[in-house]
Structure 1
Amino acid sequence: MTRPPTAAQRRVIDAADPVTGRLRGTEAQLEALVKRGLAFRHPRPPHDHFLTPAGHRIREEVPEAAPEPTVRTPSTAAGVFAARVGGEEDVPETGPSRVREVHSAWQGLLELRRMTNPDGATDRPCGWERSHLVQAAALALEAAGHRPAGPDSTGQPAGQVSPGYRVIATPQPEAVAVYEPEVDALRACAATLEKAGWQAGEYTEPRTRVRYLLASPRRA
Structure 2
Amino acid sequence: MTRPPTAAQRRMIEGADPVTGRLRGTEAQLAALVKRGLAFRHPRPPHDHFLTPAGHRIREAVPEAPAVPAPAPDTGVFTARVGGEEEPPATGPARRREVHSAWEGLLELRRMTNPGGAADRPCGWERTHLVRAAALALEAAGHRPAGGGADGYRVRATPQPEAVAVYAPDGPALAACAATLERAGWQAGEYTEPRTRARFVLASPRRV
Structure 1 runs (4+) deviating above 3 angstroms are 5-10, 17-20, 22-27, 48-54, 56-59, 72-77, 90-93
1:86 to 64, 83, 88: 83
Match of 2:96 in 1: 99
Where does structure 1 lack aligned partners over 5 or more consecutive residues?
A: 32-39, 43-47, 63-69, 153-161
Aligned residues: 187
Q: Shift in Å at residue 21 of structure 1?
A: 2.4
Q: Shift in Å at residue 54 of structure 1?
A: 6.9
Q: Does 1:207 align with 2:195?
A: yes
The Cα RMSD (Å) is: 3.0
Structure 2 vs 1, CA of residues 57 and 206 (structure 1 numbering), >3 Å: closer, same or farther? Answer: farther
Instruction: Using structure 2 for the length normalisation, give the TM-score.
Output: 0.76
Q: Shift in Å at residue 26 of structure 1?
A: 4.3
Match of 1:55 in 2: 59
Matched position secondary structure for 2:191: strand
Structure 2 vs 1, CA of residues 8 and 56 (structure 1 numbering), >3 Å: closer, same or farther? Answer: same
Question: Which AA in structure 1 matches 2:104?
Answer: Q
Q: Distance in 2 between matches of 1:75 and 1:13?
A: 18
Residues 182 and 188 of structure 2 are in contact (CA less than 8 Å); yes or no, is this contact kept in structure 1?
yes
Q: Shift in Å at residue 22 of structure 1?
A: 5.6
Q: Does 1:71 align with 2:59?
A: no
Alignment of structure 1 residues 171-190 onto 2, 5 Å: 171-190=159-178
Residues 17 and 78 of structure 2 are in contact (CA less than 8 Å); yes or no, is this contact kept in structure 1?
no
Residues 163 and 182 of structure 1 are in contact (CA less than 8 Å); yes or no, is this contact kept in structure 2?
no
Residues 89 and 146 of structure 2 are in contact (CA less than 8 Å); yes or no, is this contact kept in structure 1?
no
2:153 to 156, 162, 165: 165
Percentage of pairs with the same residue: 67
Where does structure 2 lack aligned partners over 5 or more consecutive residues?
A: 24-29, 41-50
